[in-house]
Amino acid sequence: MQNKTCRISSSSPQNIKDRRHLIRCLLVCTTLFFCGCTSSYSSQGVKYSGKNTKIYTPLPIRADEDKLVQMLETISTLLGTDYHYGGESVRGFDCSGFVQYIYKDTFEAHLPRTSRQLSKIGAKISPGKLRRGDLVFFKLNSHQIDHVGIYLDRNLFVHASSSRGVTMGNLDERYYKKRFVKAVRLLEIKASFRQ
């Protein structure tokens, strides 16, 4: 009995052409796949290297006022926590690790890890329009952004200071005023209606 399955004969010119076409298609698909995975820009416009590409929470992060209260409560429990370079837990924080922890704990948000990367996301806000939860950025020790904090109210912000751990600062203080670079908003807060 004759087998009716189709076999590709390597000697046929048409089959060789089909194989080349198949290989080309596979190469194109593979290239497109890897280009998409290692793109240097995320959907939020932040530049990342291909191997460190992560999925970050889309902005703005929508939350109600109760979440802001929760954020303040969490911050109050963390005041005085030690500074630890690269730290992102209650055992110790650096400035961006602290911001990342607060946003993940309160809003279940995944944000970039460094202050410089954080400064490239969100909507830029003028200092006169700051609201609770906005991020404030500074150049403390370099010509590039190297420090971040979370704005609270009345020009007060909370941050992980290398000398004092998690503490509050004031944007009106000469030290911070001179080094302030920008502020960004990641949150869109809707009013909570209680009965």
Q: Is 159 a catalytic residue?
A: yes
Q: What are phi and psi of 86, to 5 degrees?
A: 80, 0
Of the residues 21, 29, 35, 143, only one is catalytic, namely: 143
Q: How buried is residue 169: exposed, middle or buried, by Cβ count under 10 Å (0-12/13-18/19+)?
A: buried
- 59-98 residues labelled b (16+ CB within 10 A) or e (exposed): bebebeeebbeebbeebeebeebebbeebbeeebbbbbbb
Report the alpha-carbon distance of residue 132 to residue 177 in Å, rounded. Answer: 18
Of the residues 25, 84, 110, 159, only one is catalytic, namely: 159
Q: Is 147 a catalytic residue?
A: no
Q: Using an 8 Å Cβ cutoff, are 115 and 122 in contact?
A: no
Q: Is 95 a catalytic residue?
A: yes
Report the alpha-carbon distance of residue 60 to residue 80 in Å, rounded. Answer: 30
Of the residues 21, 25, 95, 110, only one is catalytic, namely: 95
Task: Just list the catalytic residues.
Answer: 95, 143, 159
